Amino acid sequence: MVRSNHLEETDPAVYAAVQDERRRQEESLGLIASENHVSEAVLEAQGSVLTNKYAEGYPGSRYYGGCEHADTVEQLAIDRAKELFDAEHANVQPHSGTQANMGVYFAMLDPGDRILSLDLTHGGHLSHGHDVNFSGQLYDIEQYGVDPDSGYINYESVAEHATEFDPDLVVSGASAYPREFDYERIHEIASDVDAYHLADIAHVTGLIAAGVHTNPISNADFVTASTHKTIRAGRGGLILTSDEFSEQIDKSIFPGSQGGPLMHNIAGKAVGFQEALTPEFTEYAKQVVANAETLATTFSEHGLSLVSGGTDKHYVLADLRDSHPNVTGSDAEEYLQNVGITVNKNTVPGETRSPFTTSGIRVGTPSLTTRGFTQSEMETVGHAIVDVIEHPEDQDVIEDVSSLVDRLCEEYPIYD
């Protein structure tokens, strides 16, 4: 349990909210694909005195005095990131995955330049060119999609888009595409039109770090990552690149688009990367995928349609339109919330409802796998999810699933 007597005394309102949040995490089953639980060691690093330090610049070349320990921490984070991803250069300062993407765009593109990326309703990310995001406002965006029948990316069609649109940068990577990207193919497509290739691995950072998924590093000019999804290094972003672009990238982050680095967060990244270098983490990442496969099988057995028919990753994307035409993604999210199961509604390819309603749910396994869940528990959870979606008003079902959730949460605590 994370206790802080100082906080309790100084600010009881914030203390109470933190404790309530801790309880919420402990007492519900979190299946949001982008969330995880960091170790106590990462929490300590993030809650450390490093938050007091200004360290504009990079290790060995700072604009402030007294940076020797900040240098040690940042260099550890950099060295471990390079080792994990076999990269020539790592910038660990981006405050988030979105800032990492911004760093690459600002380094390599001018306003009005062209970006080719995956459509948001097919699983892309806001920072890949959505019109409500800076990326869609500053750049000329063209998007590729998935084949409506197979749910897979059609690389022939990506190549055609590239030939017609002549992009300056092609983005691979997604927030809700359950299959691995063919980075080599995207790299060829980008090279053929003289465009850079940015592989945004935000969701699969941990799977790639563990070697469970293919590392795009040799097939991309830039790799951007988040540090809080499938890898447990606390909230933040990361950019990996070759020596060729290292200076441009570093300048683009500081002073280009950020001020002082969040040294406490960088300490969290260093610790989380160290944890990810262990054999235990490789086992964890394998289990994350095995658990998602079990969810896919369980949902399919109950007749739910899955985008692309299954998953290679840490989540499944269930399209409810065929099996439960009257249940929207937001209905399902709400029914499950009521029994202590947290998922998120998600658009599906060919979406017919608004992004606030949606026809699908994204169900992810990183958090529960951190708690110790294996295939048998995931199967039980998968059955329970379908039961609730099918019988949202049935008091017996609600009570049964609620007590199942209580039992599992007690059996698999997050923090002792």
Binding segment for ligand PLP among 104-112, 131-139, 171-179, 286-294 (CB under 6 A)?
Answer: 171-179
Q: How many residues bind ligand PLP (CB under 6 A)?
A: 14
Task: Please identify which residue in 46, 93, 127, 274 interacts with ligand PLP, judged by CB under 6 A.
Answer: 127
Range in contact with ligand PLP (rule: CB under 6 A) among 95-103, 108-116, 323-331, 368-376: 95-103
The correct pick among 175, 298, 365, 370 for binding ligand PLP (CB under 6 A) is: 175
Q: For residues 116-152, b (16+ Cβ closer than 10 Å) or e, as one string? A: bbbbbbbbbbbbbbbeebbbbebbbbbbbbbeeeebe
Q: What are phi and psi of 334, to 5 degrees?
A: -70, -45
- The answer to whether residue 93 forms part of the interface with ligand PLP (CB under 6 A) is no
The backbone torsions φ and ψ at residue 321, rounded to the nearest 5 degrees and listed phi first, read: -60, -40
* Options 22-30, 169-177, 285-293, 317-325: segment touching ligand PLP (CB under 6 A): 169-177
| Site pattern 187..216 for ligand PLP (x: CB under 6 A) | -------------x-xx-------------
Q: Applying CB under 6 A, does 362 fall inside the site for ligand PLP?
A: no
Among 57, 67, 92, 97, binds ligand PLP (CB under 6 A): 97
236 is an annotated ligand-binding site residue: no
According to the binding rule CB under 6 A, does residue 96 interact with ligand PLP?
yes
Signed CA dihedral, 79, 85, 89, 93: sign only: negative
**CA 185 to each of CA 154, 158, 263, 287: distance values in angstroms, whole numbers, following the listed order:** 11, 10, 37, 28
The helix or strand, by DSSP H or E, that contains position 319, with its residue range, turns out to be: strand 315-319
Count Cβ atoms within 10 A of the Cβ of residue 79 and give its class: 0-12 exposed, 13-18 middle, 19 or more buried.
middle
When asked if residue 346 is in the footprint of ligand PLP (CB under 6 A), the reply is no
Q: By C-beta, is 98 or 358 nearer to ligand PLP?
A: 98
Residues numbered 9-38 forming contacts with ligand PLP, rule: CB under 6 A: 34
* DSSP 8-class letter at 146: B
For 201, left (φ over 0), alpha (ψ -120 to 50), or beta? alpha
CB of 126 to ligand PLP, least distance (A): 8
Least distance (Å) from ligand PLP to the CB of residue 239? 12
Nearer to ligand PLP, 62 or 125 (CB): 125
Q: Distance between CA 191 and CA 85 in Å, rounded?
A: 22
User: Judged by CB under 6 A, does residue 226 bind ligand PLP?
Assistant: yes
Number of residues that this document lists for the chain: 416
What b/e readout covers 167-189, taking b as 16+ CB neighbours within 10 angstroms?
bbbbbbbbbbbbbebbbebbbeb
Please report, as ranges, the residues that interact with ligand PLP according to CB under 6 A. Answer: 34, 96-98, 125, 127, 173-175, 200, 202-203, 226, 237
Annotated binding site for (6S)-5,6,7,8-tetrahydrofolate, which residues? Answer: 120, 124-126, 354-356
